[in-house]
Amino acid sequence: IIIVLYFSATRLDAYANDKSVEQVQRLLELELDKLADLSMEYGWWNEAVDMVAYQKDLEWAETNVGDYVQDRYNIKIVLAFGPGGELAYGRQNQEILQSAPTAVMTPEIADLIKKATDTDYSDPQPVSRIVSIDGAPALAAAATFAVYEPTERDLERSHGAIVFIRM
């Protein structure tokens, strides 16, 4: 009886562990999807494309992007790149960035940006994944800056990219 109980308990523990892992994976996937959707909301916003990617209006970016998403969505790092790949706006932990930090601009983040900007511009799709920032796990999402309705900006191309990172 003791042996049967032992093996039963071992199987139950393994089953519970497997279910816990599955639940955590589902929750992480859900958080990645929400972060990707948020990046797309900002990336596919004509005013953000103009004010951040082209005009590099720091006051507008702070009010409408950085300050808001950091407070509301617990985003630790915001990076917005212009059409030439230059940092148009950046913010990390309430601090405005002059350049993209080397610790953040990992090959994983560069690949995320490349995949986000290599998209069908009539229906741009954000990308997201778990990345490592300074050895710590983080959720990252990127979306291309794309205009969704006619403006003076070209509809069929990337105007840069926006990246949100949650540690």
Query: pLDDT tens-digit profile of 87-97?
Result: 999 999 889 99
Closest by CA to 51, choosing from 154, 157, 147, 166, is 147
The confidence score (pLDDT) of residue 147 equals: 80
Residue 139's closest CA among 156, 153, 126? 126
CA torsion through residues 71, 77, 83, 88, sign: positive
DSSP 164: E
Query: pLDDT averaged over the chain?
Result: 87
Q: Considering the entire predicted model, what is its pTM? A: 0.84
Q: How far apart are CA 91 and CA 42, in angstroms?
A: 15
Mean pLDDT of the 122-151 span:
88
In the structure, what pLDDT confidence band is assigned to residue 17 with cuts at 50, 70 and 90? confident
CB 141 within 8 A of CB 32: yes
- Whether 151 shows a pLDDT value over 70: the answer reads no
With H, G, I as helix, E, B as strand and everything else as coil, classify residue 127.
Answer: strand
Residues 6+ apart with CB under 8 A from 161: 43, 80, 81, 113, 116, 117, 142, 143, 144, 145
Closest CA to 99 of 69, 74, 75, 79: 79
d(CA 77, CA 95): 9
Rounded to whole angstroms, the Cα distance separating 144 from 101 reads 20
